[in-house]
Structures are given as structure tokens and as C-alpha cells.
Amino acid sequence: MAQPGKLSGDGSPKWPVRVAAHVTALLLRTWMSTLDYRVCYEDRSIDPVYPECIGPKLYLFWHEYILFPLYLRGHCYLTMLVSRHRDANLLTEVAKVLGFDFVRGSSRRGGDQALRQLLDVGRCRHLTITPDGPRGPRRQMAPGAVYVASRLGVPIVLMGFGYNKPWRLNSWDRFAIPRPFSRARAITSAPITIPQNLDREGIEYYRQMLENRLNVLTEAAEEWAESGESRENEMALFKARAAHPPWECRREGIAIGVDPLNRSAY
């Protein structure tokens, strides 16, 4: 939730935050729409814009590339994990404008509550986590995503992103801002099955494996974007909504098209 100083009397963000979010979303749409997007899928069924995408998934990508999916995959029944830090309030409101739901929390602030919400929402919606966020270290995966996937029994999808010569902020993650009209590339994994009810050793094994593979995919996407070369099986990547509601929720009291956090319609 937004910080108390940023809330109106009804608990919603104050109007300057809402206005700033709409302006930021407009600028983001305009800026990101100039890019040339291409993708290589290992399995196209991981993408919710295609009808063959069935069942909940947990999508992982590095924090520095959050603008990439934020622009392309709004209104795809995705719930993002966003930090409770005050700096993330605007990001949360922008994500709402662009068609994402969200859970607030991190390992440092609100972690237990966020975990409970992710386990609840993940039965009815796709989840997306930046596993090195919100404070790093850069491109090092925390174990929380593996734990969530193991508890829910949902597959993990790794997404490596890259831009051609992006601007980089002087931040812990070297946040990437693509240059207008430049190349944007994505390389995604097939769904990766995580065994249920893993112990600590099992979680650490999959954490290391996924971290290594996500780094390989990200570096490959970056090299592809820099080179401009064609790749076998590459496809145009386009902004679109989900092809259909992802699945029927079987938990009592939760129906398709209803947000399990606040019971409001999407």
C-alpha cells in the first residue's frame, strides 16, 4: 500500500500521485512503442497472449528490465511483487494504470504478508517477480520465488531481456532505459517444473540453477540486441492483452475476473 503521507482519506493514493502515474504511463507507452521488439520462445505457450497458455505461471526477470514487460503485457492477469519502499509508490500506481495487479512487500519489509498474498493470488493469476529486487545484489536471485513456486505447484518461466546500447542509471541494478527506436530482444525459457514442498537444500539447488540460467538468457538477449543479427525461430513481439482468462479458480469465493485481494472486478 502507499505510505500514509501519500494517502487520501479513503485510503487511496492522493491525487498528485494518481495524476503522476497517468502521465508517467502515457510517457512510457509513447517511449516504448518506438522500439523494435523480437522474441525467441523455447515454448510459445508461456505467453498469456496466446490461447495455448493454460494454467498459472511464475515469471522471473531481472529488476533492471522491468520496463520491458510493463509496457508489453498489461491486462494479462499478471500480479507483480512490488517493494513497500516509498520510492515504489509511483511504480505501483503506474502498474495499475497499465493493467497489472500487485502485492506490496519484500524480504526486508512486509515479507510475510506479501508471501501469504502471493500464495493466495497465485492460484488464480500469473505472478511476476524480479528476484534480485528491490535492493540487489544485481542479478543474484533470492530464494523466495522458488519457495512460492514450490508451494503453489506452478512452473517458473525465465525471461531474458536486452536493449541495443541502453542508457544505464547509476543505481544498484544499473537500471536500463532503452534509446528510442532501438532494438529490444527477449529470449524465454519453457515452463520449468519446481518440485512441491522443497526443503532448504532443494530450494537452494533450484535457486542457483535458475539464477545461472536467467543470466545466460539475459546475456544472450543483450548480445542479440547489440548485434542486430537474425536468429532462428525469432518472432515479432507485440503489445497485446491475454487471449482469455487463464483458468477457473477452484477456491471457494473466488471467481474468474475477480481480484482475490479486494474482490473487485478486473
pLDDT tens-place string over residues 36-49: 999 999 999 999 99
pLDDT surpasses 70 at 117: yes
All 3 cell numbers of residue 71?
A: 509496457
**Bridge partners (DSSP) listed for residue 128:** 59, 80
Question: Is the residue at 61 inside a domain?
Answer: yes
Lowest mean pLDDT among 67-81, 106-120, 172-186, 205-219: 106-120
Model confidence over 70-86: pLDDT tens digits? 999 999 999 999 877 66
pLDDT given for residue 16 in this prediction = 81
Q: Which helix (H) or strand (E) holds 94?
A: helix 89-97
- Which residues are CB-contacts of 180 (< 8 A; sequence separation ≥ 6)? 31, 34, 35
Q: How many domains does the chain have?
A: 1
pLDDT given for residue 247 in this prediction = 66
Model confidence, pTM? 0.86
Lowest mean pLDDT among 15-19, 26-30, 222-226: 15-19
Longest dimension (CA), the chain: 55
- Which range marks the domain in which residue 55 is found? 36-236
Question: Is the residue at 126 inside a domain?
Answer: yes
pLDDT surpasses 50 at 1: no
Strand 235-236 to 36-41 pairing:
antiparallel
Question: Is the residue at 26 inside a domain?
Answer: no
Model confidence over 122-171: pLDDT tens digits? 888 999 999 998 888 999 999 999 999 999 999 999 999 999 999 999 99
pLDDT surpasses 90 at 108: no
Question: Is the residue at 11 inside a domain?
Answer: no
Mean pLDDT of 228-241: 96
Question: Is the residue at 25 inside a domain?
Answer: no
Question: Is the residue at 253 inside a domain?
Answer: no
Question: Is the residue at 121 inside a domain?
Answer: yes
Question: Is the residue at 264 inside a domain?
Answer: no
